[in-house]
Structure formats: structure tokens, C-alpha cells
Amino acid sequence: LYRGGPHVIMYLMHIVIDIGGTKTRIGFSEDLNSFAEIKRYDTPEDLESLQNLILTETEKHDIESVRIGIASTIAKETNTIITDRNIGYIKGLKPEDIYTPGGKISMNNDTELAALGEYFYGDWEKKPNIMAYITLSTGVGGSRLINGKLDETPHNYEPGRMIINKEGQEKDPSGGVGTFEAYCSGIGFLNIYGQNPQDCKDSSIWARYSRDLAVGLTNISLIWAPDVIVIGGGLSQKADLFIDSTVRKMATLSSDLKIPEIKISKLGDRNGLLGGLGAAPTK
């Protein structure tokens, strides 16, 4: 599909925008099968800068659809952002407040799109019936798919906010104490251990981290009963330092139940964009 006169051909472009607590990615697709281009930026520090960034990168295209994935809780009935713990200026926004030019537009929590990307574009011999996706990034988030479909819920899941240590003192960005996110996110890692996880090589720190992660993933296993848990996000790049000990600890925490297969994402930061291809808005 294209618009234009006899000397100008302009393909209708599908845009997927993945807005995380640290990084923002914009993907451009002509066919909803692959990306012609992906651009990456630091997430802007205010709404006007975010709007200007998106507008600058998209205004030269004729837009068919826009799918936004954002690191926040979204009320699905009203398509409104209801929390702002990872990005401090987005509470109360609808997708059209982020992107205003023409084209069909919709919005999901970023981990919902990442889960769809992992399911449809991941490395599978056989796709699982029930798949959980957990991102270990600036925050901790996650979603569940049953036969490739997101659960129908009033708002997206927030597994990072589950309590894994009721006596804990560590706080997450929303003020929650003792939460999965407080212990296992990138911010939590820095707060507890005083190091950026990407730079940490201390095996004793990663052993402590893996124990907390095992508690969170065991709870996910018990609540969601997935066949597979896929782990993504920036901390997944360090999985060789913690995943084996995490799996061993999970086996001791839930000895009477088989723990699910644990896979590390091979899609990296493209999973949310890829999930957006399959979830492009139709109205």
C-alpha cells in the first residue's frame, strides 16, 4: 500500500514504539512482517521531549498504524496509564497524548508486547501451551500467554510488585517494600549491592541475587503454571552468572512440583518491537 502522485511513492508505515524506563526504541515496518529500520535512544526525561523525539522520527512517513509499548500499568478499558513508577511523567496519559498525528493507534504494557515477541519470534522446537515472560530490567515486569494469547485482565499483570520478603526493607520505585522488583530489578541491584549489574563480576553477589530471583520465579510458577518461563531484559545478559543457581534453588523451594523450563531470551531488546508487529491496531 502506498500514497503519492505519479512521481512520489510513499509506503504506509507501521510504527512500533517501545518506551522503557531507560531506553526507547522505534521500529519502522512496511509489511508487519519485519522492520525496515530500528532506532534506539535514551528515554527522554519529560513528556514534551518524548513527543518531540517520536514526532521527529515519524513525521517523514505516511503512518498506517502505531503500537506503543510502555513500562507502566495500563487500564485496558480506558487505555489509560495508571502508574508512573518507571517513567515519572506518564500517569494519566492515553496513547494519543504520546503520539498525535494520523494513523490507528493503540497501547500495551511493554512486557505484554515482549511476551508476544518471544512467543511468535523466539527459538522454539514446539511453542508452549502456557508461557510466562519475565523482564529483569530497570524494573521487573511480566506477562502470561495461553496458546499465544494474552490473558484478558482489567490491567496488565505486575509480577514485580509481589512481596517476596515480608520482613524486607528494600523499596521499589513505587514505594513497595520487600517486592520482587525491589530485589531483582536493575535499580534494586544497584541499591542493594552498590554496583551496576552489567559491571558486577562478584560471584557472591550473584549467588545472593539468584536466591531472591528463585523466590520470585517459583511464585510465578505456582500462580501461572507455565510450561516455560522466558527471561529477558538487561540483566538477562548476565544470565550465565546466576541462572544455574537460580534453577537449583527453585527446585528446593517447590520440591513437590516440576519447575518449568527456564529460557533466556535470544531476541534481546527487539522482543517488544517484534511483539508489536503482531499486535498492530486495527481500529
- Predicted TM-score (pTM) of this structure: 0.90
Average pLDDT value for residue range 109-137: 94
The predicted structure's pLDDT at residue 100: 79
- Find all residues with CB under 8 Å of 132, minimum gap 6, and list them: 115, 142, 143, 144, 145, 220, 221, 224, 226, 228, 229, 230, 260
Residue-wise pLDDT for 270-282, tens only, equals: 999 999 987 655 4
* CA–CA–CA angle 199, 204, 209 (5° rounding): 75
pLDDT value of position 279: 61
Least confident of 75-89, 113-127, 235-249: 75-89
**Grid cell in block for residue 18:** 517501545
For residues 174 and 146, the model is more confident at 146
Mean pLDDT over 164-177 rounds to: 84
Q: Which H/E stretch holds residue 265?
A: none
Provide the pLDDT confidence category of residue 267 given band limits of 50, 70 and 90: very high
Average pLDDT, the chain: 90
Q: In the structure, what pLDDT confidence band is assigned to residue 5 with cuts at 50, 70 and 90?
A: very low
Name the 3-class secondary structure at 32.
coil
Calculate mean pLDDT across residues 215-240.
96
Rounded Cα gap, residues 114 and 132, in angstroms: 11
Share of the chain above pLDDT 70, in %: 94
Range from 21-30, 171-180, 189-198, 260-269 carrying the lowest mean pLDDT: 171-180
Q: In degrees to the nearest 10, what's the CA dihedral of 60, 66, 71, 72?
A: 130
pLDDT value, residue 173 = 73
237/264 Cα distance (integer angstroms): 9
Average pLDDT over residues 59-72: 89
Contacts of range 139-142, beta carbons closer than 8 Å, 24 or more positions apart: 139/21, 139/71, 139/85, 139/86, 139/172, 139/173, 139/181, 139/185, 139/186, 139/187, 140/180, 140/181, 140/184, 140/185, 140/188, 140/216, 141/71, 141/109, 141/110, 141/111, 142/111, 142/115, 142/220
CA distances from 166 to 158, 169, 182 (A): 17, 9, 12
Q: What does the alpha-carbon distance between residue 216 and residue 256 come to, in Å, rounded to a whole number?
A: 17
